[in-house]
Amino acid sequence: MPPWEPRTILPTEGGISRRAVLGGAGMTLAAAALAGVPAAAAADAAGDPISGLLWPSGLGNAADEIEAFERWRKAPCGVFAGWTNIQKAAQTWDDFMGGPKGRYEELGALFSKLGAYNINKAAQVLPKQVPLVWIFPLLPQEAGNSGKGGQWKNPGIWRRLTDPNGDLALWKDVWFNIGARLVVWLDQHGRAYDTLTMDIGWELTGNWYPWSIGPDVDGFKPAWRTAIDSLRAGLRHMSAKAEHAVKIGWRVAGSRITDNQHHIDRVYPGDAWVDVIGRSLHEGPKGQWGRAEGWKRELDGDGGRLDGLEMVLAFARSQGKKFGVFEWNLAWKQGDPAFPPSEDPAGAMANIFAFFRANATEIAGECYLHNRNTRLIDNQDNWAGAAEYLRQIALSKRSA
């Protein structure tokens, strides 16, 4: 039996909302929690003092609707996840450098409004203490390795990135530059370094992004480590405090992928190069999360392969890491044939939130990916999933 066999964790009690942070009788307790005061000194401050829930809860990639989201669900946004647009900002290695080499104050396409609108908007709108998750590419499009049925576009990419006679110098330069620019970006927004998680190369066990691992696991791991070492060197170059304050997220794809499946302990690059282990959570056309058998399949994974929700959580626990669900949703209307409406959205929501509550102390954050086909805000009259989301949020709140 592996050391990361799934088990159930029961939620704790108590807590405080962001409204207490902004004023009122709970202000001192909330301020202590946000300042990192030990639990004994902060009394009953377990849970998330920003969102007011048992765990950090928030929104993904809809920064223009943050305030509407908070009003609608009657709970502050306790964490926000925003993507870099790889179509507009990460086509070539020059784009991916992040800006002119050595001139770190000049932020390039990866950091621009065009390339990272939502994370920039959230950094401006949200209070400074609210954690941000920057969902960030690992490779530019031109280095792409995506492919189906074993037909990988660039299966030798990882070896070239760690070859001194190949692209190692470029790889290190790129990530050093990104790290240095992150410090500039955080300073420009007046944000503490430890409020940022870089969720790099999201869904890397899938087969649809340039950074898909593919068959060369032994080549991928040293390439990842080199990228993270270089990123941290860039952070350190600008501020010694930033090097390990900025957290590194490593996230696998969801279930029911037909190829490129590896057990998580085989593809994991190592504890020194990962701070948060994550997983995407999308119901999809065959999810059927409202049914007991469908939800069990999501928890257990597809035929015992890599990515059952419980398996990934248990692996994170075994490595002493928090578990991130920085991208999750249910489809609510026809818009993409690959993601038809959830057949039982209320039941699916109830199961998801039961999982969140049962494992609240281990969740680094969860962000509902809100767009036109997964809409929550002010949609409770038209979609049972939105109404159930509101009910589950109310059930998951801490007491002030």
The catalytic site residues sit at 203, 327
Residues 147-183 as b/e (b if ≥16 CB within 10 A, e otherwise) read beeeebebeebbbbbbeeeebbeebbbbbbbbbbbbb
Degrees to nearest 5, angle at CA 9 with 8 and 14 = 150
**258 to each of 58, 81, 261, 284, how far by Cα in Å?**
31, 27, 8, 14
Sequence-separated (6 or more) residues with CB below 8 Å from residue 148: 207, 258, 259
**298 to each of 252, 283, 318, 399, how far by Cα in Å?**
14, 9, 20, 31
Q: How far apart are CA 96 and CA 93, in angstroms?
A: 5
Burial of 240 (0-12, 13-18, 19+ CB in 10 A): exposed
Q: Please, which contacts does 106-109 make with residues 24 or more away whose CB atoms are closer than 8 Å?
A: 107/181, 107/184, 107/185, 108/181
Q: Which of 134, 87, 238 is nearest to 176 (CA)?
A: 238
Degrees to nearest 5, angle at CA 197 with 128 and 33 = 50
Degrees to nearest 5, angle at CA 311 with 341 and 321 = 110
